[in-house]
Amino acid sequence: MKKLAIILGAFILFLTGCGSSNQTITVNGSTSVESFFKETLAPQIKADLGYDVEYQATGSSDGIKAAKDNTADFGTSSRDLKDDETDLDSIVMAYDGIAIVTNKENPVTDITMEQASKIFKGEITNWKELGGNDSNIVVVSREDGSGTRSAVEELVGFENELVDGATIADGNGNVASTVAENPNAIGYVSFTTLEENTDKINGLSIDGAAPLPKNVVDSSYPVARPFLLVYQEDNLTDQDKEVLEWIKTTGVTYAPDAGLIEA
Amino acid sequence: MNNTKLVKYTLLAITLTSVIALAMITIFLILQGMKPFFATDFDLNIIDFFTGDTWKPNQGVYGIGYMIVGSILATLGSIILVVPVAILTSVAIVEFMPTKIAKPFTFAIELLAGIPSVLYGLFGLGVLVPLIRQVSPTGSGQSLLAVTLVLAMMVMPTVIALTVSSLKAVPNSYRHASLSLGADKLQTTFKVVVPAARSGIMAGIVLGIGRAIGETMAVTLVAGNVTGGVPGSIFDMIRPMTANIALEMGYATGHHRELLFTTGLVLFIFIMLLNIIATRLAKRGEMR
């Protein structure tokens, strides 16, 4: 029985040890924001403030929910807050461009915003209508609820009108690999995903503007969205406030390092 | 308290954890999954939900009918492919091959059963999907056919393993009796041994169906996961129920999230029914 008590005691100690340590900032949210937060911001936060960052990439809605329920110190979102989420506070950390991508073998390199919208609505169905090969267009889209998807739907103008036969892939990476695998496919991914996959997929120019950060800055490239840091003022500890202040003043300037556009 | 009693209660407590886990999952799924149908701020007809052929949560359109059809067709198709191959393979291994030759086959099949499902999915996406695209009229290789083939490959080793063990369980006296009555090896195998192992084989098939209908990762990669439309040909894309949950759970909120639990509940009921059937079949085998 004594042994059991010792084991039980150790277990309880272990459980309490799992509770939040003072030196860690927990962040939960968008998969699109993950690499910016984890690889660019986190090392700087560690260097400047001495806090570790724990980032869980589960999706924008999860991040917003985490901020609301206070299950993480901060949430992140790659889409604007919805009407029923406005009781939360948020700041823009950076802007991200979204590229419309095709297979390397596809000869089409430039489309208009209107053509893009018609492709995703299913009104243009063959590549030859865009000066390409005579083959069906295979539309690849992110899943419902994805921040990238709602951003593209809104920016390109096919809200709630995505063609029924679209292939749905979850995550930027899956869209990239689906498009890389099919010469007839068209999809959309964040600039960072395009940059990592330029050997496999092509980013289309829209209305003559190539999908490059500088074209987002001068507003010639039209498909871009905000990366939000979401929180509730009342739930912030002193430590959280310190991090928030740092992101507002210093963190935002790191956006270009991650291929993003400074807010 | 003496030692025996202590051990007894400890074991009981440990055993209870799995039962409690099952009970909690069941209650949780039912509570979450039934919520949207009783919500006052939300109007969804349960019949529309089960027969609908469009899933567009952004527009408040929730129909899983076409997913149920897709899941069932893919599972059925894979089982039709698997059963003859699995039975003949098992017969060959147990009845016709000398142990020396059978061993490497058994080993390969066991290895195949241990491959993580995501690797089957990657194989499907990298090899099967491009091949199917060459012949598909839709321009996309992701299709009902791709899902069926991937599932068939995945389920095959499970069915073979169970069939092999139920064939091995047939007493040798059956074989000897049949042979001594003048039947040849082939007649003995297919008229005596296979029928004697029938219930075990059936249980294996049902378990295979369960594995196929519940598979998520591999099928999500090759299904296409369309937002609507009952598949009309093997080249059409489908959205299996499992893929629906896995794809959207990370981002879903409110009733959308609850309806993903409802999808899970439907899946759970399918699997429960299959398990009940499997248990019945196994029991019938024991009684004979």
A57-110 pLDDT, tens digit each:
888 888 999 999 999 999 999 888 888 887 899 999 998 889 999 999 999 999
Contact A130, A124 (CB under 8 A): yes
Taking contacts as CB-CB distances below 8 angstroms, the residues of chain A near B125 are 177-178, 181
Interface of B with A in 106-165 (CB under 8 A): 125-126, 129-130, 133, 138-142
Mutate to test the interface with A, among B67, B251, B263 (most CBs of A within 10 A): B251
Closest CB to A61 among B59, B225, B251: B251
- Taking residues A157-172, report their average pLDDT: 88
Say yes or no for a CB contact (<8 Å) between B139 and A135. yes
pLDDT at A11 over 60: no
Three-state secondary-structure class, residue B224: strand
Contact A180, A200 (CB under 8 A): yes
pLDDT tens digits, one per residue of B84-110? 999 999 999 999 999 899 999 999 998
pLDDT at A14 over 80: no
Over pLDDT 70: what percentage of chain A? Answer: 92
Residue count of chain B, please give it: 288
- The pLDDT value given to residue A17: 46
Over pLDDT 70: what percentage of chain B? Answer: 98
Over pLDDT 90: what percentage of chain A? Answer: 51
Over pLDDT 90: what percentage of chain B? Answer: 68
Say yes or no for a CB contact (<8 Å) between A167 and B225. yes
Taking contacts as CB-CB distances below 8 angstroms, the residues of chain A near B141 are 181-182
pLDDT at A191 over 90: no
Say yes or no for a CB contact (<8 Å) between B253 and A65. yes
- The pLDDT value given to residue B251: 73
The per-residue pLDDT of chain B, averaged, comes to: 90
In this structure, of A2-16, A133-147, B57-71, the range with the lowest mean pLDDT score is A2-16
Say yes or no for a CB contact (<8 Å) between B142 and A167. yes
DSSP state of B139: S
pLDDT at B115 over 80: yes
- Taking residues B45-74, report their average pLDDT: 90
Binning pLDDT at 50, 70 and 90, where does residue A145 land?
confident
Taking contacts as CB-CB distances below 8 angstroms, the residues of chain A near B58 are 144-145, 150, 159-160
DSSP state of B238: B
Residues of A with CB under 8 A from a CB of B: 31, 58-62, 65, 135-138, 143-147, 150, 159-160, 162, 164-170, 174, 177-178, 181-182, 184-185
Distance from CA of A2 to the nearest CA of B (A): 14
The residue in chain A having the minimum alpha-carbon distance to the alpha carbon of residue B229 is A164
Taking contacts as CB-CB distances below 8 angstroms, the residues of chain A near B55 are 144
- Taking residues B159-169, report their average pLDDT: 93
> For the residues of B113-124, what is the DSSP string, one character each?
HHS-HHHHHHHI
Distance from CA of A53 to the nearest CA of B (A): 21
pLDDT tens digits, one per residue of B199-236? 889 889 988 999 999 999 999 999 999 988 899 999 99
Say yes or no for a CB contact (<8 Å) between B57 and A146. no
Of residues A27, A34, A26, A24, the one with CA closest to residue A227:
A34
Closest CB to A165 among B221, B229, B247: B229
Mutate to test the interface with B, among A61, A64, A82 (most CBs of B within 10 A): A61
pLDDT at B288 over 80: no
Say yes or no for a CB contact (<8 Å) between B252 and A184. no
Taking contacts as CB-CB distances below 8 angstroms, the residues of chain A near B133 are 182, 184
Taking contacts as CB-CB distances below 8 angstroms, the residues of chain B near A181 are 125-126, 129-130, 141
Say yes or no for a CB contact (<8 Å) between B227 and A150. no
Q: How many CB pairs below 8 A link A and B?
A: 96
Q: Is B245 within 8 Å of chain A by CB?
A: no
- The pLDDT value given to residue B19: 93
Distance from CA of B57 to the nearest CA of A (A): 7
pLDDT at A21 over 50: no
- The pLDDT value given to residue A12: 56
- Taking residues A186-196, report their average pLDDT: 90
Asked whether this complex has an ipTM greater than 0.85, the answer is: no
- Structure-model confidence comparison of residues A171 and B72, the more confident one: B72
Closest CB to A145 among B57, B229, B237: B57
- Taking residues B166-191, report their average pLDDT: 93
Say yes or no for a CB contact (<8 Å) between A181 and B130. yes
Report in angstroms the alpha-carbon separations of B68 from B57, B72, B80: 17, 6, 18
pLDDT at B261 over 80: yes
Distance from CA of B157 to the nearest CA of A (A): 28
The residue in chain A having the minimum alpha-carbon distance to the alpha carbon of residue B133 is A182
Say yes or no for a CB contact (<8 Å) between A58 and B250. yes
- The pLDDT value given to residue B67: 95
Mutate to test the interface with B, among A154, A164, A172, A175 (most CBs of B within 10 A): A164
Give Dmax (Cα) for chain A: 80
- The pLDDT value given to residue A3: 61
Secondary structure in 3-state letters for chain A: CHHHHHHHHHHHHHHHHHCCCCCEEEEEECCCCHHHHHHHHHHHHHHHHCCEEEEEECCHHHHHHHHHHCCCCEEEECCCCCHHHCCCEEEEEEEEEEEEEEECCCCCCEECHHHHHHHHHCCCCEHHHHCCCCCECEEEECCCCCHHHHHHHHHHHCCCCCCCCCEECCCHHHHHHHHHHCCCEEEEEEHHHHHHCCCCEEECEECCECCCHHHHHCCCCCCEEEEEEEECHHHCCHHHHHHHHHHHHCHHHHHHHHCCEEC
pLDDT at B164 over 90: yes
pLDDT tens digits, one per residue of A197-234? 999 999 999 999 999 888 887 778 989 888 999 999 88
> Residue B64, class by beta-carbon neighbours within 10 Å (0-12 exposed, 13-18 middle, 19+ buried)?
buried
pTM: predicted TM-score of the whole model, two decimal places: 0.75
Residue type, B215: E
- Taking residues A246-251, report their average pLDDT: 92
- Taking residues B46-57, report their average pLDDT: 90
Taking contacts as CB-CB distances below 8 angstroms, the residues of chain B near A169 are 225
pLDDT tens digits, one per residue of B122-143? 999 989 999 999 898 888 889 9
